[in-house]
Amino acid sequence: MPQTSRETHTHPPTAAAGSPQPRGRAAHCPEGRFVGRFATTGTVYLVGAGPGATDLITVRGLRILQSADVVLHDALISPEMLLEAAPDAEVVSVGKRGYCVGSTRQEHINEAMVRYARMGKSVCRLKCGDPCVFGRGGEEAEMLVHAGVPFQIVPGVTSAVGVCAAAGIPLTHRDAGQAVALVTGHHDPDSSDCTLDWNSLARMPAVVFYMAVRHVTKIAARLSSSGLSPDTPVAVIESGTLIRQRVHVATLGTIGVVTECAAVTGPAVFVVGEIVRFRDKLMALASGGLESAVPLVNENRGLAPTARRKSQGVST
C-alpha cells in the first residue's frame, strides 16, 4: 500500500483561529444531492460499518467513507476499513471502549461533527454495527437537528444479526425463535442504572445482549431467577466475523465459568435461547466445517480493491 498524506488524530483537534476553508471535494449523496464545494454547511453521514469484518459494510456506507472529507470513527473500526478513506481525508479516532479510561467524551464528538460540517466539509461518522442500535445514532441525529446541521443515517448490519449469522446461529427460526430481543448488557444488573424487565426477557424465545462480557454471570443468574431453565443453551461470540472469532457454547447455568476459563474479552455478544442449538446442527451437516455451511464473509467480489486485499475472514 503506497504511503499517503492522510492526516490522522486520536482525538478531535480543537478549532484554530483562521482555520483554512474546506478543500472543496464534494461527497456524493445517494439521493443525488452533492455537498461540499458550494455548501455553507456540510452534511454529516451517520454510517454503520457493520459487525466487524471489513467487507460487511454496505455499498452506500463504503461510497460515503471513500468520498468524505473527514472520517470520525469508533475505536473498534478496523484499520483495514479506514484504508478505504480518501488519501487526503482527515481521519480522527473518537472511540469509546466500554469502561476504558481515555475514551472520547460524547460532547467532544458532537462538537467535532458540528464544527467540521460548519466548515463546509462532508463528515463520515463511522460507527460499529448499525448507528441506531446501541450506537448513539439517535442521540447524535437529535443533536445535529438542534444544531441545524444536515445529516443522513446510513444503516449497517448490527452486531446481533451479523455476528450470530457468521457463527451459524439464526436469530429467528419457525421452529424455535419467532421473536428476538436485542438488549444492552452494559449496566451491572445489580445497579440502579439497569432497568431491564428480567421476567419479560426470560419469556423471550431468544435474547441477544450487547456489551455484556463483564456481566455474563450476573445476567445468567437474573434470567435463571426469573424462570429460565439453567439448561437453556447460550453462546458468547467473541470478535464475531473476524479471523480471531471464538464461539463459546454452554448453558445458562455454566456460561459464567466457561467465559471465565476462556478469558473472554470484548467485543462480544451473549446469545440466549434454543436458537443456539442450530449451530451444532449446522456444524454436523457441513462437510467442510461451519465456514462451508455459512460462507457469509469469505467472498469479497463486491468490495473495493483495497478492502478486498485486506478483508478478514471468519474462523470458527
Q: Has residue 311 been placed in a domain? A: no
The one catalytic residue among 55, 69, 88, 96:
96
Instruction: State the CB neighbour count (10 A cutoff) for residue 172.
Output: 12
Q: Which domain holds residue 192?
A: 160-293
128 with 199, same domain: the answer is no
pLDDT in tens, the chain (316 residues): 444 446 666 555 544 444 433 334 544 444 434 333 334 789 999 999 999 999 999 999 999 999 999 999 999 999 999 999 999 999 999 986 655 555 789 999 999 999 999 999 999 999 999 999 999 999 999 999 999 999 999 999 999 999 999 999 999 988 887 899 999 999 999 999 999 999 999 999 999 999 999 999 999 999 999 999 999 999 999 999 999 999 999 999 999 999 999 999 889 999 999 999 999 888 777 644 455 444 333 333 334 444 433 333 333 3
The answer to whether the beta carbons of residues 237 and 272 sit under 8 Å apart is no
Please report, for the domain that includes residue 244, its CATH number.
Answer: 3.30.950.10
53 with 130, same domain: the answer is yes
92 with 126, same domain: the answer is yes
Question: Cell 454547511 sits at which residue?
Answer: 41
The count of structural domains within the chain is 2
- Whether this prediction's pTM lies above 0.75 is answered by yes
135 with 203, same domain: the answer is no
The one catalytic residue among 74, 121, 127, 130:
74
Q: Has residue 2 been placed in a domain? A: no
Known catalytic membership, residue 193: no
Known catalytic membership, residue 231: no
